[in-house]
Structure 1
């Protein structure tokens, strides 16, 4: 940025000089001498987007990093409340039960709200691969960002689960009967989702599909300026209410994963710490078709239904102009370019 002024200015008053008035200068080095206090480096930081090398690197990783931390916070609260509520039922762990099913709903709702709060202003607060894929499919979210977002989300889930596992490892040992014993679903269900035994494959798939479709309808409504978006900064509160409601109404049978990263990241962690291959082979690879594929399909369906019936924004795939609309638009542009006749009696 050039520091030289092209116009003349009146000399600053003594009060202006005391306030740090910047006179016309020929170079950034002279600029530092016209202000009492800051050095060259401190002052130049205000005139460049990248004041140092790390700031340039951060520009490229801040969005995936926000998704990573958002999912990690989600899992810390979600898996944390699972461990506290379920492990405390064993008298070897605690003398009383610390929580019930409603506690689980609140923990996951709090984790979702805080995860979106941390990441929303930077990355959009997806913290869910199903949301990312749906937004890239039907909205204008760039596909080039999708791989980095999904990788960061899954790794956030893995690291969040690792933190909670380390925090509750001694309680898990007491419940399982030793450090070398790990059962599936057993305590593996504290970190990932496993359907109840009576659920058929189709029923379990539909349960996850339904929950995620409802999730995306509400998410789309939140972002619709022509509907009833929440006031700035209150989107996490809406998500808190929504996750609390989904858990209280639809969470019993499959554990309401409704988020591939929320399930896959912790599942990978459990396979790494001793639960082994059974976390993936359980019920004919349940991990893939139920908590991963079903939420993605549900998210696509929920976004499609909302855009088809309600959304009028131009960024939606369903609102792109067709051939006739494009022809009319070109015709209107050409009509606007025609020169008007000159003269006092022109119409």
Structure 2
């Protein structure tokens, strides 16, 4: 019969352990303020991971849109987001878990897979990471924007460029259809992520970022033409706000019958449903 052994550690001992960890960390990372940087490490990882994701993702959309790659452009965009997400996960997954998505963070917290106290920091970091990524893409392609649209930023029409940063639906799709598609895709994403990272099953150990990236590729090419497949509230909202500030005006929020709220609400609901369904139905071969 096993017994649980509890060992109390004095505050002096805890301080010693923190100092020892900081000293060891100093052998790995340079610069000062190590204790502060260590406390904020999760949020730094989410910020830079999200920034890299948007730089790669929006950057490939800008390349395809401004240089007119034709029919092959959609596949290029899907691959761009696929490998962009993989690269972002390589720098963030081992530190913050690589959420890079507020819908993931909220769902994880609701199912007690992370402390609720970490949620505000994660969300703030993700939002500003996506905003910074959009600003960098815009700055990098600014000359191409002017030659493409003559300096008149447009959200709809032949010379529309707002879709480089945020997602807009197929005009033939309905509000209900858009909402369902986004909820479905994000639910599928979280359901599949459960399998990829479940240590009780056969996870893609060592290959998680690539597995997640290719999962995103399949989700995008399967229904991306319907809504643009954001599956990530801040990947859509933060760049959308940036475009509104940078010259597109209010159109990014009013276009397509005020579509902007769907990529915020639907993925969040979908993420909660996805994790919930995985937790309920996928049972490992371990007796409770």
Query: Shorter-normalised TM-score: what interval?
Result: 0.7 to 0.9
The answer to whether the aligner puts 1:151 opposite 2:130 as a matched pair is no
Q: Secondary structure at 1:141's aligned position in 2?
A: coil
Q: Identify if the C-alpha distance between structure 1 residues 47 and 262 changes in structure 2 by more than 3 Å, giving closer, same or farther.
A: closer
1:234 aligns with 2:207: yes
Query: Structure 1 residue 296 and structure 2 residue 275: aligned?
Result: no
Work out which of the residue numbers 211, 220, 224 in structure 2 matches 1:251: 224
- Rg larger for: 1
User: Is the 8 Å Cα contact of residues 88 and 98 (structure 1) preserved in structure 2?
Assistant: no
Query: Could you tell me whether the CA contact under 8 Å between 2:170 and 2:227 is conserved in 1?
Result: yes
Q: Secondary structure at the match of 2:79?
A: helix
Answer whether contact 2:168 2:256 (CA < 8 A) is retained.
no
Q: 2:29 aligned with 1:55, yes or no?
A: no
User: Which residue of 160, 180, 189 maps to 1:215?
Assistant: 189
Q: How does 1:109-120 map to 2 (within 5 A)?
A: 109-120=82-93
Which of 73, 90, 93 lines up with 2:52 in the alignment? 73
Q: Is the 8 A contact 1:224 1:311 kept in 2?
A: no
Corresponding residue for residue 63 of structure 2: 84
RCO (CA 8 Å, sep 6+): is it higher in 1 or 2? Answer: 2
**Which position in structure 2 is the counterpart of 1:268?**
241
Q: Which moved more, 1:134-143 or 1:163-172?
A: 134-143
Any residues of structure 2 matched to 1:303-314 within 5 Å, and which? 303-311=275-283
2:168 corresponds to: 194
Determine the structure 2 residue equivalent to 1:123. Answer: 96
| 2:183 equivalent to 1:204 | no
- 2: CA distance, partners of 1:293 / 1:64: 23
Counterpart contact for 1:70–1:116, Cα < 8 Å:
yes
SS of the aligned residue for 2:256 comes to coil
RMSD: 2.2
Q: How big is each residue's C-alpha offset from its partner over 1:68-88, in whole Å with a ceiling of 9 and x where there is no partner?
A: 111111111100110101110
| 1:85–1:98 contact (8 Å) kept in structure 2 | no
| 1:108 aligned onto 2:81 | yes
Contact 2:171–2:256 (8 Å) recurs in 1 = no
Q: Which runs of 5+ in 2 are unaligned?
A: 1-17, 27-31
Report what 1:279 is aligned to: 252
Indicate conservation of the 8 Å contact 1:84/1:98, yes or no. Answer: no
Q: 1:227 to 1:175 in 2, by over 3 A?
A: same
Question: Partner residue of 1:163?
Answer: 136
Q: What displacement does 1:201 show?
A: 0.3
Asked whether the equivalents of residues 216 and 302 of structure 1 are also in contact (C-alpha less than 8 Å), the reply is yes
Q: Using the alignment, how far apart are the partners of 1:97 and 1:305 within structure 2?
A: 39
Residues 1:98 and 1:55: Cα distance change in structure 2 (over 3 Å): farther
Instruction: Quote the Cα distance in structure 1 between the aligned partners of 2:118 and 2:171.
Output: 38
Deviation of 1:265 after TM superposition, in Å, equals 1.4
- In 1, distance between residues paired with 2:119 and 2:39? 14
